[in-house]
Amino acid sequence: MSSAPIFAQQFDFPSALLAEIAVRVQLPPSRHAVAEKRYHTLSEWLDRPGSPLQGLVPRMYAQGSMAIGATIASCRQNDEFDIDALAELSLSSNTPPRVVLDLLYEAVRGEPGSRYYSMTERCTRCVQVRYGDDMHVDITPTILRPEQPEREGFIFHANSEKPTGDDKRIVANPFGFAEWFKTRTPADAVFALDFAELSREHDRILLRKAADTEPVPEPVEAYKKSMALISLQLIKRWRNIRYDARPGRMPPSVLLAKLVADNANRTSSLYQELLHQAKQLKVFFEVAQIAGRLVHVQNPVCPSDVFSDRWPEDLWAQRVFISDLHDLVTKLEKLANCNALEAKQVCADLFGESPAVDALNKVADRYGSAISGGQAYHDRRTGSIQARASGIIATASAPLSSARTTGHRFYGGRVEDI
C-alpha cells in the first residue's frame, strides 16, 4: 500500500503526535551537518603526516543508523547521539583483530595534547570519540574482501581485557545493508516533505534557544523520511527507554531495522505503520520463543553477517523483549482514542516525558485553536478534519467539499501540569 502524508490530508491525532515526538528524538538537521563534518574531519586526521594510518584510509563514511537516517537521542537519562562511521583500511585481511583496533585507536588518539587525545576510547569493535556536547562518533575499522560484493569486508572484535583467543574477524557489509534498507522503505513525496518541514521548524526553535550556534546547511533529503523509517526511530527510542536501567545488551538497531524493512509499506498513516511494525515484531519473536529457539537475523545482502550474533543471549532475554512488545502494542492501541491526560501518560512511558509533553503541547498549539474555534474544515462524507484546507499543514492544496466543524475533546490548553 502506498504511503500518505503525515495527516492523510485530514487530522489524525495519533499520527500528528507521533510525528512531533519523532522530530524531538531524532538527530536535528543542524546537528546532522555537524556530525557529517566531524567524521570527515576525523578522516583527514587519520591521514595526517605522522599518523600510523597515513595513506592507509582510502574511504570513511556513515554506516548504521546514520547511513539510513535513523539516528536518535540515546535515552532519557543521557540523551546523546551515537554517530556511526566505517573506516576502510588498506591493510592485509590477515592482520590480527587486536592489531587493527589498536592501530586505529593510536591513529585517532594521537600524541599527548593533540585534539582527540583525551576524547578517544578503544572499544570492542570500534574506536569512540566523545565530544563535549551531546554526541559521540564510533569509528569501526574494516578491511575489504577482494572480489566480493561492493564494500563487503571484515570488521574486527577484540576485547582488550580478554585473551586473544576471543578475538574475531567477522564478515560484514554495512554499506550493502543500508542500500537494501533504503530500497525497501521509499518515502512518499508528500509525506516526506511534510515531515521534513516539521524537522526544520523544530530545528529552528532549537537554534533560537542556542543563539551562539551557527547552523550548517543540511541536505533536505536527509529528512524526507518514510513512515517505516520514522516508525523505526520511534521503536528504537522506546527500546532505549525500556533498557535504560537494565543490565546487559538490548536488541541491536540493525536487527530492528531489518525486521522493519521486511514489513514496510503496508499501511496508510504513521500511527498505523508504527502499530503494524510493533505487532509484526511481536509475532516474529513469539514464533521463535514458542519453538524454543532464538531468532536468527542475517544481512540480506551478506548472509555471513548475522545481526543477532550477540543478542538475544538466551531465551530469557528474548522472553523479556516479547513482554515489552506486548506492552508497546497495548499502549499504542490505547493511543488511538484517548484524552490529553491519557496521551501524556502513554507517550511519556513509551518515549520519555520531555519529548512527549513537548510534542503534546505543540499539537495543541498547532491544531487546537483551529479545531476548538470552529475554523477547521471537515469532509462531509467522513467527518474527518481536513488538515491542509484548515491551515494545519502549510502546503497548499485544493480542499474537498467541506464544512466548518466545532470542537474536539482533546484541545483546551497545554499539558505540562496535567
Task: Give the Cα separation of 250 and 389 in Å (integer).
Answer: 44
What are 294-308's pLDDT values in tens digits? 999 999 999 999 999
Long-range pairs, 166-172, Cβ under 8 A, ≥24 = 167/96, 167/97, 167/98, 168/97, 169/93, 169/97, 170/305, 170/309, 171/145, 171/302, 171/304, 171/305, 172/142, 172/299, 172/302, 172/304, 172/305
Instruction: Return mean pLDDT, the chain.
Output: 82
What pLDDT score does 171 carry? Answer: 96
The pLDDT of 58-81, averaged and rounded, is: 81
SS (H, E, C) 245-283: CCCCCCCCHHHHHHHHHHCCCCCCCHHHHHHHHHHHHHH
Kindly indicate the confidence band of residue 415, based on its pLDDT and cuts at 50, 70 and 90: low
The pLDDT of 147-168, averaged and rounded, is: 90
What pLDDT score does 79 carry? Answer: 67
- Which of 197-211, 347-361, 364-378 shows the highest mean pLDDT? 347-361
What pLDDT score does 185 carry? Answer: 94
The least confident of 4-18, 42-56, 334-348 is 4-18
The least confident of 44-48, 234-238, 359-363 is 359-363
Task: Give the Cα separation of 332 and 353 in Å (integer).
Answer: 16
**Does the N-terminal peptide bond of residue 312 adopt cis geometry, omega within 30 degrees of 0?**
yes
The pLDDT of 72-89, averaged and rounded, is: 80
Sequence-distant (≥ 6) Cβ neighbours of residue 202 within 8 angstroms = 23, 24, 28
Task: Give the Cα separation of 337 and 74 in Å (integer).
Answer: 29
The pLDDT of 381-406, averaged and rounded, is: 35
Classify strands 127-130 and 120-122 as parallel, antiparallel or unpaired: antiparallel
Q: Which residues of 202-212 are buried (b: 16+ CB within 10 A; e: fewer)?
A: bbeeebeeeee
Closest by CA position to 285, among listed 274, 276, 275, 296: 296
- The C-alpha cell of 314 is what? 538466551
Distances (CA, A) of 161 to 63, 97, 155, 167, 324: 26, 14, 19, 11, 33
What pLDDT score does 414 carry? Answer: 53
289 versus 358: the higher-pLDDT residue is 289
The pLDDT of 252-269, averaged and rounded, is: 95
What pLDDT score does 3 carry? Answer: 41
The least confident of 63-77, 169-183, 363-377 is 363-377
User: What is the maximum alpha-carbon separation in the chain?
Assistant: 73
- The C-alpha cell of 91 is what? 591493510
Q: What percent of the chain has pLDDT over 70?
A: 79
Classify strands 135-144 and 81-88 as parallel, antiparallel or unpaired: parallel
What pLDDT score does 395 carry? Answer: 33
Q: What percent of the chain has pLDDT over 90?
A: 57
CATH architecture under which domain 29-173 falls:
2-Layer Sandwich (3.30)
Task: Give the Cα separation of 40 and 396 in Å (integer).
Answer: 39
pLDDT score of 315 more than 90: yes
The pLDDT of 244-259, averaged and rounded, is: 94
- The C-alpha cell of 22 is what? 519523532
Task: Give the Cα separation of 92 and 359 in Å (integer).
Answer: 51
What pLDDT score does 77 carry? Answer: 53
Q: Where are the domains of the chain?
A: 29-173
Kindly indicate the confidence band of residue 391, based on its pLDDT and cuts at 50, 70 and 90: very low
What pLDDT score does 35 carry? Answer: 85
165 versus 76: the higher-pLDDT residue is 165
The pLDDT of 69-95, averaged and rounded, is: 84
Whether the pTM exceeds 0.85: the reply is no
What pLDDT score does 347 carry? Answer: 96
Task: Give the Cα separation of 401 and 119 in Å (integer).
Answer: 60
What pLDDT score does 133 carry? Answer: 81
- The angle subtended at Cα 364 by Cα 355 and Cα 4, nearest 5°, is 80
Q: Tell me if 350 sits within 8 A of 241, measured CB to CB.
A: yes
What pLDDT score does 379 carry? Answer: 40
Amino acid at 97: P
What are 163-209's pLDDT values in tens digits? 888 899 999 999 999 999 999 999 887 777 788 788 777 767 765 55
Task: Give the Cα separation of 353 and 346 in Å (integer).
Answer: 10
pLDDT score of 389 more than 60: no
